[in-house]
Amino acid sequence: MYSTEIEVRTGAEAVVHDLTHEAEEFLRDADAADGLLHVWVPHATAGLAILETGAGSDEDLLTALDELLPRDGRWRHRHGSPGHGRDHVLPALVPPYATIPVLGGVLALGTWQSICLVDTNLDNPVRKVRFSLLAG
Protein backbone atom coordinates (compact mmCIF):
# COMPACT_ATOMS: atom_id res chain seq x y z
CA MET A 1 0.00 0.00 0.00
CA TYR A 2 1.33 3.44 -0.93
CA SER A 3 0.60 6.11 1.70
CA THR A 4 1.61 9.64 2.57
CA GLU A 5 0.58 12.37 4.98
CA ILE A 6 0.19 16.05 4.16
CA GLU A 7 -0.31 19.09 6.35
CA VAL A 8 -3.18 21.51 5.72
CA ARG A 9 -3.41 24.98 7.25
CA THR A 10 -7.07 25.60 8.03
CA GLY A 11 -6.64 28.78 10.08
CA ALA A 12 -8.74 30.09 12.95
CA GLU A 13 -12.18 29.90 11.27
CA ALA A 14 -14.44 26.96 10.46
CA VAL A 15 -13.65 25.81 6.92
CA VAL A 16 -14.47 23.33 4.21
CA HIS A 17 -11.11 22.85 2.48
CA ASP A 18 -11.08 21.14 -0.92
CA LEU A 19 -8.49 18.33 -0.98
CA THR A 20 -9.26 17.03 -4.47
CA HIS A 21 -6.17 18.55 -6.08
CA GLU A 22 -3.92 17.11 -3.36
CA ALA A 23 -5.58 13.69 -3.83
CA GLU A 24 -4.97 13.84 -7.59
CA GLU A 25 -1.31 14.75 -7.00
CA PHE A 26 -1.00 11.82 -4.62
CA LEU A 27 -2.38 9.45 -7.27
CA ARG A 28 0.10 10.80 -9.85
CA ASP A 29 2.98 10.35 -7.40
CA ALA A 30 1.74 6.81 -6.65
CA ASP A 31 1.57 6.00 -10.38
CA ALA A 32 -1.95 4.75 -9.64
CA ALA A 33 -3.96 2.53 -11.95
CA ASP A 34 -7.10 0.97 -10.43
CA GLY A 35 -7.83 0.71 -6.73
CA LEU A 36 -9.21 2.59 -3.77
CA LEU A 37 -8.05 5.89 -2.36
CA HIS A 38 -8.57 6.04 1.38
CA VAL A 39 -8.40 9.48 2.98
CA TRP A 40 -7.98 9.72 6.75
CA VAL A 41 -7.88 12.68 9.15
CA PRO A 42 -6.17 11.66 12.42
CA HIS A 43 -7.93 14.28 14.53
CA ALA A 44 -10.77 14.13 17.07
CA THR A 45 -12.27 17.40 15.81
CA ALA A 46 -12.28 17.24 11.99
CA GLY A 47 -13.92 15.17 9.28
CA LEU A 48 -14.14 14.53 5.57
CA ALA A 49 -17.06 15.12 3.23
CA ILE A 50 -17.70 14.51 -0.44
CA LEU A 51 -19.65 17.48 -1.74
CA GLU A 52 -19.86 20.24 -4.29
CA THR A 53 -17.76 23.31 -3.50
CA GLY A 54 -17.84 26.85 -4.79
CA ALA A 55 -21.60 27.02 -5.37
CA GLY A 56 -22.55 27.59 -1.74
CA SER A 57 -22.76 23.98 -0.55
CA ASP A 58 -19.58 24.35 1.51
CA GLU A 59 -21.00 27.38 3.35
CA ASP A 60 -24.36 25.59 3.66
CA LEU A 61 -22.62 22.65 5.35
CA LEU A 62 -20.95 24.95 7.88
CA THR A 63 -24.27 26.70 8.53
CA ALA A 64 -26.03 23.35 9.05
CA LEU A 65 -23.30 22.23 11.45
CA ASP A 66 -23.65 25.51 13.39
CA GLU A 67 -27.39 24.86 13.69
CA LEU A 68 -26.97 21.18 14.66
CA LEU A 69 -23.96 21.74 16.91
CA PRO A 70 -24.14 25.29 18.30
CA ARG A 71 -20.92 26.80 19.62
CA ASP A 72 -22.27 27.48 23.11
CA GLY A 73 -21.92 26.29 26.70
CA ARG A 74 -24.11 23.15 26.53
CA TRP A 75 -21.22 20.75 25.93
CA ARG A 76 -19.72 18.62 28.72
CA HIS A 77 -16.35 18.58 26.95
CA ARG A 78 -15.14 22.04 28.00
CA HIS A 79 -11.46 22.60 27.28
CA GLY A 80 -10.40 25.10 24.61
CA SER A 81 -12.39 27.98 23.19
CA PRO A 82 -16.06 28.46 24.18
CA GLY A 83 -18.26 25.79 22.59
CA HIS A 84 -15.27 23.65 21.57
CA GLY A 85 -17.05 20.54 22.85
CA ARG A 86 -19.16 20.59 19.70
CA ASP A 87 -16.00 20.11 17.62
CA HIS A 88 -15.49 16.76 19.36
CA VAL A 89 -18.99 15.65 18.31
CA LEU A 90 -18.40 16.65 14.66
CA PRO A 91 -16.67 13.39 13.57
CA ALA A 92 -19.79 11.42 14.54
CA LEU A 93 -21.67 13.37 11.84
CA VAL A 94 -18.83 14.12 9.40
CA PRO A 95 -16.57 11.05 9.64
CA PRO A 96 -12.77 11.35 9.62
CA TYR A 97 -12.44 9.04 6.61
CA ALA A 98 -13.55 8.63 3.00
CA THR A 99 -12.84 5.97 0.39
CA ILE A 100 -13.05 6.80 -3.33
CA PRO A 101 -12.68 4.39 -6.26
CA VAL A 102 -9.74 5.03 -8.58
CA LEU A 103 -10.08 3.92 -12.21
CA GLY A 104 -7.19 4.26 -14.60
CA GLY A 105 -5.40 6.52 -12.12
CA VAL A 106 -8.36 8.93 -11.92
CA LEU A 107 -10.69 9.56 -9.00
CA ALA A 108 -14.15 8.18 -9.82
CA LEU A 109 -15.92 11.23 -8.42
CA GLY A 110 -19.16 12.61 -9.83
CA THR A 111 -19.12 15.77 -11.92
CA TRP A 112 -19.53 18.18 -9.02
CA GLN A 113 -18.02 16.10 -6.22
CA SER A 114 -14.92 17.12 -4.30
CA ILE A 115 -13.07 15.59 -1.36
CA CYS A 116 -13.23 18.10 1.48
CA LEU A 117 -11.69 18.49 4.90
CA VAL A 118 -14.29 19.87 7.31
CA ASP A 119 -12.67 21.66 10.23
CA THR A 120 -14.74 23.64 12.74
CA ASN A 121 -12.06 23.66 15.46
CA LEU A 122 -10.93 27.23 16.04
CA ASP A 123 -8.13 26.06 18.34
CA ASN A 124 -6.13 23.95 15.87
CA PRO A 125 -5.04 25.80 12.70
CA VAL A 126 -2.99 22.93 11.23
CA ARG A 127 -4.34 19.51 10.23
CA LYS A 128 -2.82 16.32 8.93
CA VAL A 129 -4.45 14.31 6.16
CA ARG A 130 -3.31 10.81 5.18
CA PHE A 131 -3.81 9.48 1.64
CA SER A 132 -3.46 5.73 1.13
CA LEU A 133 -3.81 3.82 -2.13
CA LEU A 134 -4.95 0.23 -2.06
CA ALA A 135 -4.11 -0.99 -5.55
CA GLY A 136 -6.71 -3.14 -7.30
Determine, yes or no, domain membership for 2. no
Determine, yes or no, domain membership for 3. no
User: How many residues are given for the chain?
Assistant: 136
Determine, yes or no, domain membership for 126. yes
Please give the Cα distance from 15 to 117 (Å, whole number): 8
Determine, yes or no, domain membership for 1. no
Q: Total structural domains in the chain?
A: 1
Q: How many CA atoms lie within 13 A of 16 on its CB side?
A: 21
pTM for the predicted model, two decimal places: 0.95
Determine, yes or no, domain membership for 102. yes
Do 88 and 43 contact (CB within 8 A), yes or no?
A: no
- Provide the residue range defining the domain that includes 75: 8-135
Domain with 111 in it: what CATH number? 2.60.120.460
Determine, yes or no, domain membership for 91. yes
Of 11, 10, 14, 12, nearest to 120 (Cα)?
A: 14
E strands, 11-96, are 15-18, 35-40, 46-51
Predicted confidence pLDDT, tens digits, the chain (136 residues):
999 999 999 999 999 999 999 999 999 999 999 999 999 999 999 999 999 999 999 999 999 999 999 999 999 998 888 889 999 999 999 999 999 999 999 999 999 999 999 999 999 999 999 999 999 8
